[in-house]
């Protein structure tokens, strides 16, 4: 059995690499984008807020699976304006679009929960708007949104398995292929264990970040 | 000398301040008293540039100034509004170093002195949530003073405090008058407190 495990491990690890790659690039792009969308959602410039609200509504109101299929299989059918993404790019595009909407909504709440008095306090001390955002608002928002962002990060680890549907070789696919070929449950168990380890690492990392930001209240 | 001339402020159609003028000589303390809802906070917010008046002019030593853009005025808010993510020292040094580009070392030295004067030595590196209400208020005063204002404004400095601390606040305000020659505007609905500290009392009446 150990022989069997070490035999399929390379395939599973290569699948894990794909999963992690989707995970990291989605996070790296959609957290900053989400912060911008969050600011946009509360802007006084109504047309922008309106468009962003529509975007958030669409992304959160439809399944991510549908969005993936739409981007990869749907957009190429859009004659004569077919947009054709390679598989990996299609997956990233759909994930970033989807997660930016979720993060945007989280950041919107974060920005709104910084009391107005903090802005006024900064104003009478003559701090500029960028200085206020950087030194006062962002640290407070980060602390507020951290738990919700954490939830989404864990979700993303698992959601990344949806790329399976457009034929990307991620962890789940690697396990599924091995399981079907060798008619055994073992690869799926291993896949489960790897997902558990990934989410455990995320949870510990998030705890550490939360602890660091708990020196003040 | 601070002069406010013909200040009028409406919210929508509601007149809150009508053609109000005040004069505060140098080093003096003006107490602004009146019932709740009379417009005391609104008056202070107009002077500190947080509200835009419908009408009114502001002069310091005969020279007109813009409440939204000057380095004359410091503010101590009713709920202090310290920055919770910064330590006591960082709260104080943030604006002088970032806005006035003063060297951190010098700002810190001055801050230490003021903190010690107000009995806050040893609290430099803790966060606002670790302070009592009275201590927060004193940090807010030091933070405002660190920008070297000519005029210091307080909104209800006694309202959030234990009554026993009322005399402490009075002492601090009177102390700033003596040691720094600070011109001070103090909004309060506490008549005894006002009589205790003020050179001059301005009564604000509810208009509608
Ligand atoms: N931003 C605002 N919009 C509308 N009305 C306001 C606003 N701020 C204050 N008011 C009204 O103006 C009046 C004076 O308020 P305020 O200056 O806070 O009184 P005080 O500080 O004397 O208790 C109140 O009736 C209050 O409801
Ligand atoms: Mg008031």
* Interchain CB distance below 8 Å, A118 and B83: yes
Q: What's the pLDDT band for B202 if we cut at 50, 70, 90?
A: very high
Cα-to-centroid distance, B17 and ligand 1 (Å): 10
Average pLDDT, chain B: 95
| The pLDDT of residue A212 | 86
Mean pLDDT value of segment B142-159 = 96
In three-state secondary structure terms, B33 is strand
Q: How many CB atoms lie within 10 A of CB A96?
A: 19
Please give all residues whose beta carbon lies within 6 A of any atom in ligand 1, as ranges: B 11, 16, 34, 36-42
For residue range B26-54, list pLDDT tens digits in order: 999 999 999 999 999 999 999 999 999 99
| A103–chain B nearest CA distance, Å | 22
In three-state secondary structure terms, B55 is strand
Protein residue with its CA nearest to atom 6 in ligand 1? B11
The yes-or-no verdict on residue B160 having pLDDT over 90 is no
Percent of chain B at pLDDT > 90 equals: 93
* Interchain CB distance below 8 Å, A125 and B143: yes
Atom of ligand 1 nearest to the CA of B42: 17
Atom of ligand 1 nearest to the CA of B39: 17
For residue range B62-116, list pLDDT tens digits in order: 999 999 999 999 999 999 999 999 999 999 999 999 999 999 999 999 999 999 9
Mean pLDDT value of segment B178-194 = 94
Give chain A positions within 8 Å (CB) of B79: 117
This complex has an ipTM of 0.95
The yes-or-no verdict on residue B152 having pLDDT over 80 is yes
Q: Give dist(CA B171, CA A206) in Å, integer.
A: 47
B143: its two tokens: 């933070």
| The pLDDT of residue A168 | 92
Protein residue with its CA nearest to atom 27 in ligand 1? B37
Which regions in chain A score pLDDT beneath 70? none
Q: Say which CATH topology domain B1-72+150-208 has.
A: Rossmann fold (3.40.50)
Residue A26 makes CB contacts below 8 A (sequence gap 6+) with A92, A95, A96, A99, A156, A160
Least distant ligand from the CA of B159? 2
CB B77 within 8 Å of CB B44 = no
Least distant ligand from the CA of B35? 1
The domain spans of chain B are 1-72+150-208, 82-148
Strand arrangement, sheet containing B73-76:
B73-76, B151-155, B183-187, B29-33, B200-203
Give chain A positions within 8 Å (CB) of B73: 124
The domain spans of chain A are 2-216
Q: At B21, which helix (H) or strand (E)?
A: strand B14-24
Strand arrangement, sheet containing B63-64:
B14-24, B2-11, B55-60, B63-64
CB A47 within 8 Å of CB A119 = no
Atom of ligand 1 nearest to the CA of B204: 22
A116: its two tokens: 């107005």
Nearest residue on chain B to A130, judged by CA atoms? Answer: B98
Q: What is the DSSP letter of A78?
A: S
Least distant ligand from the CA of B33? 1
Ligand 1 probe mutation, B42, B52, B188, most atoms within 8 A of CB: B42
Chain A 12-71, residues with CB within 8 Å of chain B CB atoms: none
Residue B200 makes CB contacts below 8 A (sequence gap 6+) with B24, B28, B29, B30, B31
Cα-to-centroid distance, A97 and ligand 2 (Å): 46
Give chain A positions within 8 Å (CB) of B50: 120, 123-124
Phi, psi for residue A183 in degrees, rounded to 5:
45, 60
User: Spelled out in words, what is the top-level CATH class assigned to the domain A2-216?
Assistant: mainly alpha
The yes-or-no verdict on residue B208 having pLDDT over 80 is no
Q: Which of B48, B94, B127 lies closest to A216 in CB terms?
A: B127
Burial class (CB in 10 A: 0-12, 13-18, 19+), A82: exposed
What are the angstrom distances between the C-alpha of B164 and each of A110, B129, B134? 38, 21, 11
| A106–chain B nearest CA distance, Å | 20
């Amino acid at each position: 059995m150990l022989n069997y495990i070490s035999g399929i491990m390379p395939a599973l690890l290569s699948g894990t690499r794909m999963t992690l790659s989707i995970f990291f690039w989605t996070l790296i792009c959609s957290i900053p984008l989400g912060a911008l969308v969050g600011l946009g959602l509360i802007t006084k410039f109504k047309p922008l807020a309106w468009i962003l609200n529509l975007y958030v509504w669409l992304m959160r109101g439809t399944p991510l699976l549908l969005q993936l299929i739409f981007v990869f299989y749907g957009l190429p059918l859009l004659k004569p304006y077919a947009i054709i993404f390679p598989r990996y790019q299609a997956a990233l595009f759909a994930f970033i679009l989807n997660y930016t909407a979720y993060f945007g909504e989280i950041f919107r709440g974060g920005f709104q929960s910084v009391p107005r008095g903090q802005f006024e306090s900064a104003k009478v001390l003559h701090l500029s708007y960028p200085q206020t955002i950087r030194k006062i608002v962002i640290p407070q928002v980060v602390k507020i949104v951290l738990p919700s962002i954490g939830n989404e990060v864990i979700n993303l680890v698992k959601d990344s398995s949806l790329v399976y549907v457009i034929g990307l070789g991620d962890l789940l696919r690697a396990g599924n292929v091995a399981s079907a070929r060798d008619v055994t449950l073992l690869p799926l168990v291993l896949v489960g264990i790897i997902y558990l380890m990934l989410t455990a690492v995320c949870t510990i990392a998030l705890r550490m970040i939360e602890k660091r930001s708990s020196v003040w209240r | 000398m601070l002069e406010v001339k013909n200040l009028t402020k409406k919210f929508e159609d509601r007149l809150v301040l009508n053609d109000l003028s005040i004069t505060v000589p140098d080093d003096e303390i003006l107490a602004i008293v009146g019932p709740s809802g009379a417009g005391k906070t609104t008056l202070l917010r107009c002077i500190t540039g947080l509200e835009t008046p419908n009408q009114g002019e502001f002069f310091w030593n005969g020279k007109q100034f813009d409440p939204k853009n000057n380095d004359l005025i410091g503010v101590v808010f009713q709920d202090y509004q310290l920055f919770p993510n910064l330590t006591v020292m960082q709260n104080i040094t943030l604006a002088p170093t970032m806005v006035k580009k003063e060297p951190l070392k010098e700002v810190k030295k001055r801050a230490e002195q003021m903190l010690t004067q107000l009995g806050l030595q040893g609290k430099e590196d803790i966060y606002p949530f670790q302070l009592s209400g009275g201590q927060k208020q004193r940090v807010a005063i030091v933070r405002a003073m660190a920008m070297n204002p000519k005029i210091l404004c307080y909104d209800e400095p006694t309202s959030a405090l234990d009554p026993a601390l009322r005399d402490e606040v009075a002492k601090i305000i009177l102390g700033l008058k003596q040691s720094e020659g600070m011109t001070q505007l103090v909004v309060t609905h506490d008549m005894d407190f006002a009589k205790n500290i003020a050179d001059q009392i301005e009564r604000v009446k509810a208009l509608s």
